Structure 1
Amino acid sequence: MNELDWHSDSISATTRIDTSYKNTQNVRRFFKATCGDHFRFDRGFMQWMKDNPGKTMGEAAAEWMRRMEINENPE
């Protein structure tokens, strides 16, 4: 199986994060379309992406939204 080109290949919610993952403008476009224009990379989330090969981009989007929910509504 060929590695995904994170710069130019199509990314969907079912795209699997692989060990070649990179934070690219293409990835940012996916997250902005999925999570909203307020999407921003932060160090913790970028590390989560690197630490979770095999998860899908849909799962990654859900994780980012979960993190934003916690930040907005701390217990």
Structure 2
Amino acid sequence: MSFNWHSDPLTRDTLVCKGYRNTQNVRRFMVEHCGVDFKFDRDFMAWVRNDVTKTLGDVVDEWLRRHRDIH
């Protein structure tokens, strides 16, 4: 059974698999962990989908790392 990015519960341990989708569920998770300034951009999405195994926790940490000097 494949993961449903629209409705399955998301945690920092959720694996970002080939079937990953930018859904409202993912956006809510990212805003919760990164703050209201969170947004997807092209470079960040290229990193998310670069075929290197990662979790949503890794995704959160990378977004925060990329934006810590901006705020």
Structure 2-normalised TM-score?
0.89
Task: Tell me whether 2-11 or 55-64 shows the greater mean CA deviation.
Answer: 2-11
After superposing on structure 2, the runs of 4+ consecutive aligned residues of structure 1 that deviate more than 6 Å are: none
Deviation at 1:54, TM superposition (A): 2.3
**CA distance change for structure 1 residues 53 and 9 in 2, over 3 Å: closer, same or farther?**
farther
- The structure that has the greater radius of gyration is 1
Task: Tell me whether 26-35 or 47-56 shows the greater mean CA deviation.
Answer: 47-56
Q: Which runs of 5 or more structure 2 residues have no equivalent in the other structure?
A: none
Three-state SS of the structure 1 residue aligned to 2:63 is helix
8 Å CA contact 1:19–1:53 kept in 2: the answer is no
Aligned counterparts of 1:51 and 1:40: Cα–Cα separation in 2: 18
For these two proteins, the number of residue pairs brought into alignment is 71
Q: Sequence identity of aligned pairs in percent?
A: 42
Deviation at 1:48, TM superposition (A): 1.1
Structure having the higher helix fraction is: 1
Structure 1-normalised TM-score?
0.85
Deviations 1:8-60 (A, max 9, x none): 11110010100000111110000000111111111111111111452110010
Q: Which runs of 5 or more structure 1 residues have no equivalent in the other structure?
A: none
Counterpart residue number, 1:39: 38
> Over aligned residues, Cα RMSD in angstroms?
1.5
Aligned counterparts of 2:6 and 2:52: Cα–Cα separation in 1: 17
